[in-house]
């Protein structure tokens, strides 16, 4: 008696097919990684606070002090001394007020253009401080006497006798610039990433 012959063909095994095991996880594509949020609102908030602080302190000093009047805060280390500065820091470029005004306006425009694509909180804080300080001194250049583009900046903070008198806007610009330099040195990019290339090469 002859046995029945099966006509079914064996199933082909595909070696390139791979059933993922429970421990396997698919690699994330660049499109699946969520983009970091833009930090322009944070930049503008920091700038607004710095700008308001500068305007407020200048208004108080101008309303309550006479030119070149000096008030001791901490002995002779910290004093309030009202002066009108036509130049830059350290009384430089006193005859080029109009040029300093244009430079301040250029800084404001440049920071705003960078801020539109900014995704780093640290960079937003640093640039916000620079923007707020630049706006504070630019406001003096535009609206204080002797006239537009020639206005003298109100300075009133005196720290020791050898350091020039400055204001809150100057402090914001310096602090913001120091923060931006530190972020650059440690590899923090404006897009929120960190450049570790130098660290890996040195390892």
Check pLDDT > 90 for residue 48: yes
Domain boundaries, the chain: 39-86+95-186
The catalytic residue positions are: 155, 170
pLDDT, position 37: 84
Beta bridge partners of residue 84, listed in sequence order: 154
The mean per-residue pLDDT over the stretch 162-173 comes to 92
Give the CA-trace dihedral at 133, 135, 137, 138, to 10 degrees.
150
Tell me what percent of the residues of the chain surpass a pLDDT of 90.
54
Q: Cα 95 to chain center, whole Å?
A: 30
Cα distances from 43 to residues 29, 56, 116, 165, in angstroms, run: 30, 20, 10, 27
Q: How far apart are CA 98 and CA 77, in angstroms?
A: 33
Angle (nearest 5°) at CA 83 between 152 and 101: 20
How many Cβ atoms are within 10 Å of 72's Cβ, its own excluded?
Answer: 12
Q: Cα-atom radius of gyration of the chain, to the nearest Å?
A: 30
Cα–Cα distance measured from residue 184 to residue 65, given in angstroms and rounded to the nearest whole number? 41
Q: What is the pLDDT of residue 34?
A: 55
What does the DSSP 8-state code read for residue 5?
Answer: P
Instruction: Report the alpha-carbon distance of residue 41 to residue 105 in Å, rounded.
Output: 20
Residue of 9 and 190 predicted with greater confidence: 190
Q: pLDDT tens for residues 117-165?
A: 899 999 999 999 999 999 999 999 999 988 887 889 999 999 987 888 9
Phi, psi of 144, rounded to the nearest 5 degrees: -95, 165
Q: What does the pLDDT look like over 82-125, one tens digit per residue?
A: 999 887 655 555 666 777 888 889 999 999 999 988 999 999 99
CA–CA dist 168, 55 (Å, integer): 9
**Confidence band of 184 (pLDDT split at 50, 70, 90):** very high
């Amino acid at each position: 008696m002859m046995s029945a012959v099966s006509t079914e063909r064996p199933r082909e095994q595909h070696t390139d097919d791979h059933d993922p095991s429970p421990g396997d996880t698919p690699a994330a594509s660049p499109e699946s990684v969520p983009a970091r949020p833009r930090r322009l609102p944070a930049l503008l908030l920091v700038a607004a606070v710095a700008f308001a602080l500068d305007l407020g302190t200048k208004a108080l000093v101008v309303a309550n002090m006479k030119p070149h009047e000096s008030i001791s805060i901490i002995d002779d280390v910290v004093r309030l001394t009202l002066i009108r500065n036509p130049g830059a820091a350290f009384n430089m470029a006193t005859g080029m007020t109009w040029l300093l005004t244009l430079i301040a306006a250029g800084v404001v425009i440049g920071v705003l253009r960078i801020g539109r694509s900014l995704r780093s909180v640290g960079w937003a804080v640093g640039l916000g401080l620079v923007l707020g300080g630049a706006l504070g001194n630019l406001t003096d250049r535009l609206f204080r006497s002797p006239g537009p583009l020639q206005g003298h900046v109100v300075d009133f903070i005196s720290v020791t006798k050898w350091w020039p008198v400055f204001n809150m806007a100057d402090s914001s610009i310096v602090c913001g610039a120091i923060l931006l330099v530190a972020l650059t040195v440690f590899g923090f990019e404006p897009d929120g990433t960190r450049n570790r290339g130098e660290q890996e090469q040195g390892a």
